[in-house]
Structure 1
């Protein structure tokens, strides 16, 4: 009788070979020494192991290469600590599933026009993970029209039938703003992300929701648009300071670092004069002075889940589309002033 509970890892362990070697033998691929092939096949025959249909269908794909497309300039890409974490997780998961990862960067519509024929070429890639940047996203729509397997990181606005993975940006922003009010702050402002992105729009929506629930009027002077960069955070915080907020929810840690620079330059102190909560929980957040209270995104889980979802799309097809929002977590450090708030 077949042992249906056995995994590929267990088959590899019983045969004394790597997982990759076991996978190659079971899927009848070349480049395996005869003695290793025989060891794996003896275990397979003894246990009655059968590769499940989804895994087998994945193994039959043409190239075993998936693409990761990031609409960022090379300069901006290496400046943002979010991307190394994401790519490391995606690459690690690709390796686990015997896939090769190809990375594509672009920053303009002209670049996209040149990129599209390369990534959509028949047989080059089995599928694509696309990190959505701006709301205007013609690449996703074009790939969907050709029934190309696509998984989008970030909630796309105008392509409802595409599968996507995102954090619950609205809920995350709500946690941040509610925490600032709960710690005694009354004049809570926000530096939004770029409002040409769904992340920027959704995090602003969370801010508005908390204000509405508390019957707090929304002051336009307390809402300034940033661009997810440190320099942008510095500049827009300078715009906010004359309006004397006592707390600011900032839609990314990178912008929050720039805001801390502007506050310090103005001779003010965080959190005594202005409390700050960011979003992302990147490494610089806990290295900041003071350490940054922030909303944690599960970026590493993002990468693993994105690869697994794309493999499922490759195996089973794009319909019905998968729409997954992952939870966020409030990480309390010194910048929000929670340790200064009166008890109760």
Structure 2
């Protein structure tokens, strides 16, 4: 383990180097210029076990050196000893605030130097072992999380394959909705992990439609009031299909399934929720789902132009949609447009209700 030594007086460095040479596992490296010492510290940060620095030096004093040293992430907890002939309380306080661990007075006593540094190297070793253990745990947790996420993706893929048996174009719709949802969530400030989870859960928003008869789901025309009531049951059916799982993705998907047809003004279904009583996930998917339905050809209508659909979303902010979600959606318009090229030519697409 390296012991970095800094003093502008070379003779002082020689005394400390000589005191440390008998320590097993300790290799002293001395410098007379703070800039050179910092460059070495940055290049060998993982090898340094202790730093010993003088206070009074030209250009950069010991406190400024310690502050610069602490900005190197790998050296944030490495013990730092300040050697000085000054015995002022204010100086020691400033050094401690900068990140000093211990102090040695000049002239340095080789026996004391060796004892102090030996103890600090042991402390540094303990810190390093702890960091490595924490890093190993983090890697194990990341591996476990990745396995769980992969299983969840497999479950989602299975459900979506079942849905696609009803209509082959369902796959294109969920790909686009999932992409829009991720962009909206990102614009709303959600974390990368939250965006990924929401995008995955959103792919299952219409899974309840697997229980809707083909005569209604694939009807090439407007639905009767009775048929529309049957179609609207897909929201609660989706919640029942997805609900009760220990998986956070499945719970989120169930929340989306039952809430993505609610309206900001309370005129939606199935529970007539209003405003922020609607889960945010449902409000986000509502915007993505309706926009994709508008810009896609359906059995009962032609596809709208992106500009017309965009105007519709803006006009219905505060009525159908959460205004904040619409604002987030429109803030990513350039990226939204990029997805409009995916599967735009639909010949036979289910009703969007």
- Which gives a bigger RCO, structure 1 or 2 (Cα 8 Å, sep 6+)? 1
Q: Which has the higher helix share?
A: 2
Please identify which structure carries the higher strand content.
1
TM-score by length of 1: 0.28
Flag the structure with larger Rg.
Answer: 2
TM-score normalised per structure 2 = 0.27
